[in-house]
């Protein structure tokens, strides 16, 4: 009997990984429409409200005209060159009747949520949006990774964890921290406290992965925290598989590879990518 199934070709490299750049997706930018409860950036007839008790660091990219602004008790506005606010009493026909625009809450965004990160092998790939697919545990930064918060953004991330969270480096507003003392100084600064909250010791200064056969990410200790942020899709295949390091079962095939000490993880990864994954996940038809 022959049946045809659609499956997703899903190549996973665990437990081996090379060092990656991991970039945090959300931002707390004034100019990002998704940060406002009305779904658009406030314009000149609008009243801008940051709730009083909400701690937030907001990056402002451009010049804005508004009707008024309520500021939080503890917060900051980071102004890019040329950015700023002019206050004018309404009357702009292009801005509707004027609303109260509330800045949304970013309190609940968690470091350990794999959907809030993208990964790339080089900075250029990160900038061009050529991202790597990873299993859930590896989507969250590992000890060998360079963590990037986009240059012209601010953010707020909950780094709560019962233990140390080691990474290689952290870049914030274009400044790259590779020394643990310098970074802990930043964490205790005003901006640092507004951007990183929760009880954890985020530590930079890791060595990066220097083994050409790949390194073990070791995020498995955070598995429960990571997977608690993931909702798995229901699957249509008869015998789902569970890739190591992934929170969900998948339909597909797992290939096990044995290798020796001169195996080069990165060139193998590139070859697979070239052969199968020009589009990260491509639907293939298998018959069984
Ligand atoms: C706005 O924020 C959303 C969600 O945080 C993010 O995905 C998107 O990239 C941001 N947009 C811009 C233009 O940066």
- Under 8 Å between Cβ of 280 and 134: no
Q: Are residues 94 and 111 in the same domain?
A: no
Pocket test for ligand 1, best of 24, 34, 117 (most atoms within 8 A of CB): 34
Each residue's pLDDT tens digit, 62-87: 999 999 999 999 999 999 999 999 99
- Sign, CA torsion 154/56/114/16: positive
Q: Are residues 69 and 114 in the same domain?
A: no
Quote the CA–CA distance of 5 and 89 in Å, as a whole number.
62
The atom number, within ligand 1, closest to the CA of 35 reads: 2
Q: Are residues 19 and 115 in the same domain?
A: yes
Most confident of 54-63, 81-90, 193-202: 54-63
Question: Ligand 1 pocket: which residues have CB below 6 Å?
Answer: 25-27, 32, 34
Each residue's pLDDT tens digit, 244-277: 899 999 998 877 888 888 888 888 888 887 887 6
For residue 202, what are the contacts with CB-CB under 8 A and spacing of at least 6? 111, 159, 165, 167, 170, 183, 187, 196
C-alpha 244 to ligand 1 mean position (Å): 30
CB atoms near residue 109 (< 10 Å): 17
Task: Provide the 3-class DSSP secondary structure of residue 83.
Answer: coil
SS3 content of the chain, % helix, strand, coil (to 5): 20, 25, 55
Q: Are residues 71 and 206 in the same domain?
A: no
Domain boundary among 50, 76, 102: 102
Range of the domain at 88: 34-102
Beta strands in 52-185 (DSSP E): 56-60, 63-66, 68-70, 75-79, 84-87, 100-102, 117-120, 146-149, 157-158, 164-166, 169-172, 175-177
């Amino acid at each position: 009997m022959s049946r045809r199934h659609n499956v997703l070709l899903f190549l996973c490299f665990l437990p081996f990984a090379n060092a990656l750049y991991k970039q945090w997706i959300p931002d707390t930018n004034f100019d990002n429409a998704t940060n406002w409860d009305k779904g658009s950036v406030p314009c000149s007839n609008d009243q801008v409200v940051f709730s009083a008790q909400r701690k937030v660091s907001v990056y402002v990219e451009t010049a804005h005209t508004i009707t008024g602004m309520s500021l939080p008790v503890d917060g900051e506005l980071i102004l890019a060159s040329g950015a700023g606010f002019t206050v004018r009493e309404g009357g702009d026909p292009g801005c509707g009747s004027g609303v109260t625009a509330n800045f949304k809450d970013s309190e609940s965004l968690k470091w350990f949520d794999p959907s809030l990160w993208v990964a790339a092998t080089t900075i250029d790939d990160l900038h061009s949006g050529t991202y790597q697919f990873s299993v859930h545990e590896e989507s969250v930064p590992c000890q060998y990774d360079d963590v990037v918060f986009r240059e012209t953004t601010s953010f707020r991330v909950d780094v709560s964890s019962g233990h140390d969270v080691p990474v290689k480096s952290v870049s914030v507003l274009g400044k790259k921290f590779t020394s643990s003392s310098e970074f802990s100084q930043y964490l205790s600064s005003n901006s640092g406290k507004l951007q990183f909250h929760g009880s954890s010791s985020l530590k930079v200064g890791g060595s990066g992965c220097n083994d050409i056969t790949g390194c073990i990410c070791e995020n498995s200790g955070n598995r429960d925290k990571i997977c608690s942020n993931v909702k798995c899709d229901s699957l249509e295949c008869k015998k789902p598989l569970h890739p190591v390091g992934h929170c969900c079962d998948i339909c597909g095939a797992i290939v096990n590879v044995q290798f020796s000490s001169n195996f080069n993880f990165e060139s193998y990864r590139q070859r697979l990518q070239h052969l199968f994954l020009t589009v990260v996940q491509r639907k293939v038809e298998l018959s069984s």
